[in-house]
């Protein structure tokens, strides 16, 4: 049995959008063993996919010991590319747009992401061409290839947080600076408009982000139906929470893509400018939605200020049939 190693060692959202690659390979090569090279931070996401047979932490595992027949460098990294060549991995696939791939890879794909009109998940699949897999997939079809399976909630900590008598909507308000964010006062305005008798709102994020929210917009944590759980969850616990919540609102961050992959209501807020727009980074899922800002801010700089709380409220209530 051949083994294909998918290498993606960066952030949560990027890893989520790479998982369909494992499912697509399994579709065309069901007997192939799929291994994933990531980090301990993203391990809980990767191991949830039924299409991934083995996980390896790049910081703890030598490529020689993995004994892969093929490696796909989805997230190009010079050290990993050199290690794969040193390990004598038979087929080493990478983009031709990294100079070091010209002497570390033996199959190059002319893949330029910057000006492409394709979604990030669709661009990832272009790297399968050397395997003879060239089928195009719509975004509507791709969510079937996450391989995530919903199971019972057996974690008492997460169960104690969720109020099953209400619609649990997660506000993931910050992004660690990785994406354009909706202003905190807009989240407050939205929370005030969502009926307390219907919604339980959970604020997630790091402890540092929680402190920033409390400093900049303290009133949001004073609302009776808003619960601050920032800094209280591991990545694995966050994934569980999202899976068993009813919806998530946020900008282009990992938790938004986790929600989309989990199949719950996921609403992303995006600028309309490339390459940050939803066409490239939007959530992919059967209940995934997005709103794009219509206009730029002052001096043409991208902004999400144009997206009003009332607009988001209408979208939330409409999508939920409320």
Domains plus CATH for the chain?
3-145 (3.40.50.2000), 156-320 (3.40.50.2000)
DSSP 3-state of 142: helix
Q: How far are the Cα atoms of 37, 39, 210, 219 from residue 60, in angstroms, in the given order?
A: 10, 9, 31, 44
Decide if 53 contacts 22 (C-beta within 8 A).
no
d(CA 205, CA 23): 29
Quote the pLDDT of residue 71.
98
The closest of 176, 171, 97, 94 to 128, measured between CA atoms, is: 94
Question: In whole angstroms, how large is the CA radius of gyration of the chain?
Answer: 20
Give the pLDDT of the chain (322 residues) as one tens digit per residue.
799 999 999 999 999 999 999 999 999 999 999 999 999 999 999 999 999 999 999 999 999 999 999 999 999 999 999 999 999 999 999 999 999 999 999 999 998 777 788 999 999 999 999 999 999 999 999 999 999 987 788 899 999 999 999 999 999 999 988 889 999 999 999 999 999 999 999 999 999 999 999 999 999 999 999 999 999 999 999 999 999 999 999 999 999 999 999 999 999 999 988 888 999 999 999 999 999 997 665 556 668 988 999 999 999 999 887 7
Q: For residue 155, count other CB atoms closer than 10 A to its CB.
A: 14
Bridge pairing between strands 226-228 and 167-172: unpaired
Predicted pLDDT of residue 224: 96
Report pLDDT for 74.
Answer: 97
State how far the Cα of 40 lies from the Cα of 54, in Å rounded to an integer.
13
DSSP-assigned beta bridge partners for residue 288:
266
Tell me how far apart the alpha carbons of residues 230 and 37 are, in angstroms, rounded to a whole number.
Answer: 28
Enter the DSSP assignment of 32.
P
Go through 46-65 and write b for each residue having 16 or more CB atoms within 10 A of its CB, e for each that does not.
bebbebbbebbebeeeebee
Closest CA to 233 of 241, 225, 244, 243: 241
What is the pairing mode between strands 70-73 and 3-7? parallel
Tell me the whole-structure pTM to 2 decimals: 0.94
pLDDT at 283: 98
Residue carrying structure tokens 């909507």: 169
């Amino acid at each position: 049995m051949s083994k294909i190693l998918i290498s993606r060692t960066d952030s949560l959202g990027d890893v989520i959008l790479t998982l369909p690659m494992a499912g697509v390979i399994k579709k065309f090569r069901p007997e192939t063993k799929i291994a994933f090279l990531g980090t301990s931070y993203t391990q809980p996401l990767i191991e949830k996919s039924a299409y991934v047979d083995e996980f390896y932490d790049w910081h703890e595992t030598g490529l020689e010991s993995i004994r892969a027949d093929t490696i796909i460098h989805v997230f190009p990294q010079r050290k990993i590319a050199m290690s794969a060549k040193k390990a004598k991995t038979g087929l080493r696939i990478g983009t031709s747009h990294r100079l070091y791939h010209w002497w570390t890879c033996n199959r190059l794909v002319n893949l330029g992401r910057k000006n492409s009109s394709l979604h990030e998940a669709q661009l990832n699949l272009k790297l399968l061409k050397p395997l003879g897999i060239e089928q195009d997939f719509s975004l509507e079809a791709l969510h079937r290839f996450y391989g995530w399976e919903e199971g019972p909630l057996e974690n008492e900590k997460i169960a104690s947080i969720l109020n099953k008598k209400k619609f649990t909507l997660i506000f993931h308000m910050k992004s660690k600076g990785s994406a354009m964010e909706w202003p905190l006062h807009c989240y407050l305005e939205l929370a005030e408009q969502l009926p307390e008798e219907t919604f339980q709102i959970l604020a997630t994020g790091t402890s540092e982000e929680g402190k920033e929210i409390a400093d900049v917009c303290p009133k949001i944590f004073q609302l009776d139906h808003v619960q601050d759980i920032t800094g209280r969850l591991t990545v694995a616990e966050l994934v569980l929470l999202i899976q068993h919540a009813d919806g998530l609102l946020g900008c282009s961050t990992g938790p938004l893509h986790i929600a989309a992959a989990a199949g719950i209501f996921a609403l992303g807020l995006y600028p309309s400018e490339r390459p940050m727009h939803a066409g490239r980074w939007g959530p992919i899922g059967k209940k995934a939605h997005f709103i794009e800002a219509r206009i730029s801010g002052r001096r043409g700089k991208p902004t999400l200020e144009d997206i009003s709380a009332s607009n988001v409220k209408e979208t939330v209530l409409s999508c939920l049939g409320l």
